[in-house]
C-alpha cells in the first residue's frame, strides 16, 4: 500500500500539499478568534463553534489533496462519555476525530497552550493538560481534570504513545492514559487508522488515497489494573494496525 500511494505525481502532490498548508494555517488563525470569543458561552456552545474548523479542513484535504476517509465500528461507541485511545501516526487524526465522535477534549502537553491561536483555542475548550515536568503530580492532576470533563458529558481523546510515531514503528504505549481510565472507571474505545500512510508524521507531503479509521469494541475498565488496560488496548490497536497497513 505504501508503494502504491507514492505512484502519484510527486510535483503535483507537493503543490497540492503547499496549498493545503496555506489553508490550514489561515483557517487556524481565522477560526481561533470565534473560539476565543466564545469563552463567554457554555462549553457545549464553544464546541459547536469549534467543529466548523475540522469540517472545513477535512473538506480541504479531500478537495485539494485527494485524501478521503471511511469509518468502521462507530456502532461500538458507548452511549456514555468514554476515553478514546487512538493511534498517533499523523496529524490527520487530530483533526478528524472531533468530527467522528461526540464532543471531546484532548489530553495535551501543557506547553501547547502557549502556541498562539492554536494553543489559546485549546485553553478555551478546556482540554485536559499534562505538565510532564511535574512528575507523579502530573498524573494526579490529569486524572482530576478527566473526572471533571467526563462528569460534564465530554469524551476524552488520548494518544497513549504520547507522541506521533512512524506508522510501522515499534509500539510504545505509556501508562498515563491507562491510569486515567482505571481511576475514572470510564470505558476505553481503541482506535486504529492508516492515516500515517497518506499524511506521514513530520511530512510536508500529503498523498491521495482513502484513510480507514476503525473504532474497536469498548474495553470495560472496572476491575482492571492500569497495566491490564494498557496491555489490552495496545494488543487490540496494534492487531488492527497490522491489517490496515498491509
**pLDDT, tens digit (0-9, with 9 covering 90-100), for 87-134:** 999 999 999 999 999 999 999 999 899 999 889 999 999 999 998 777
- Residue 234, pLDDT score: 98
pLDDT, average across residues 39-59: 96
- Residue 133, pLDDT score: 79
- At residue 6 the predicted structure's pLDDT band, cuts being 50, 70 and 90, is low
Give SS3 for 163. Answer: coil
Task: Find, among 167, 208, 196, the residue nearest to 17 by Cα.
Answer: 208
pLDDT, average across residues 129-150: 90
Q: Above 80 in pLDDT, residue 5?
A: no
- Residue 9, pLDDT score: 85
Q: What is the mean pLDDT of the chain?
A: 94
The strand pair at 188-193 and 209-215 is best described as antiparallel
Q: Above 70 in pLDDT, residue 1?
A: no
- Residue 134, pLDDT score: 77
Share of the chain above pLDDT 70, in %: 97
CATH of the domain at 117: 3.40.1130
Structurally, the chain folds into a number of domains equal to: 1
Q: Above 70 in pLDDT, residue 208?
A: yes
Give the structural domain span for 110. 2-244
Q: Above 70 in pLDDT, residue 205?
A: yes
- Residue 213, pLDDT score: 98
- At residue 8 the predicted structure's pLDDT band, cuts being 50, 70 and 90, is low
Cα–Cα distance measured from residue 54 to residue 35, given in angstroms and rounded to the nearest whole number: 13
pLDDT tens string 69-91: 999 999 999 999 999 999 999 99
137 or 20, higher pLDDT? 20
Strands (E), the chain: 67-72, 83-86, 104-109, 128-130, 155-158, 188-193, 209-215
pLDDT, average across residues 206-221: 98
pLDDT, average across residues 4-12: 70
C-alpha cell at 42: 457554555
Cα–Cα distance measured from residue 171 to residue 166, given in angstroms and rounded to the nearest whole number: 10
Amino acid at each position: 500500500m505504501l508503494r502504491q500511494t507514492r505512484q502519484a505525481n510527486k510535483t503535483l502532490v507537493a503543490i497540492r500539499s503547499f496549498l493545503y498548508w496555506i489553508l490550514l494555517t489561515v483557517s487556524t488563525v481565522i477560526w481561533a478568534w470565534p473560539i476565543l470569543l466564545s469563552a463567554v458561552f457554555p462549553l457545549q456552545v464553544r464546541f459547536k463553534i469549534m467543529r466548523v474548523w475540522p469540517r472545513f479542513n477535512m473538506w480541504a484535504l479531500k478537495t485539494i489533496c485527494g485524501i478521503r476517509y471511511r469509518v468502521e465500528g462507530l456502532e461500538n461507541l458507548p452511549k456514555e462519555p468514554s476515553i478514546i485511545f487512538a493511534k498517533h501516526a499523523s496529524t490527520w487524526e487530530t483533526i478528524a476525530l472531533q468530527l467522528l465522535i461526540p464532543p471531546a477534549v484532548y489530553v495535551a502537553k501543557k506547553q501547547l497552550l502557549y502556541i498562539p491561536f492554536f494553543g489559546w483555542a485549546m485553553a478555551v475548550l478546556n482540554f485536559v493538560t499534562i505538565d510532564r515536568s511535574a512528575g507523579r503530580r502530573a498524573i494526579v492532576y490529569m486524572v482530576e481534570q478527566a473526572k471533571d470533563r467526563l462528569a460534564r458529558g465530554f469524551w476524552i481523546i488520548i494518544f497513549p504513545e504520547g507522541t506521533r510515531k512512524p506508522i510501522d514503528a515499534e509500539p510504545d504505549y505509556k501508562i498515563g492514559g491507562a491510569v486515567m481510565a482505571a481511576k475514572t472507571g470510564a470505558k476505553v474505545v481503541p482506535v486504529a487508522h492508516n492515516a500515517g500512510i497518506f499524511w506521514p508524521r513530520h511530512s510536508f507531503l500529503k498523498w491521495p488515497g482513502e484513510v480507514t479509521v476503525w473504532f474497536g469494541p469498548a474495553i470495560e475498565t472496572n476491575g482492571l489494573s492500569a497495566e491490564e488496560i494498557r496491555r489490552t488496548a495496545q494488543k487490540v490497536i496494534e492487531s488492527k494496525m497490522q491489517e490496515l497497513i498491509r
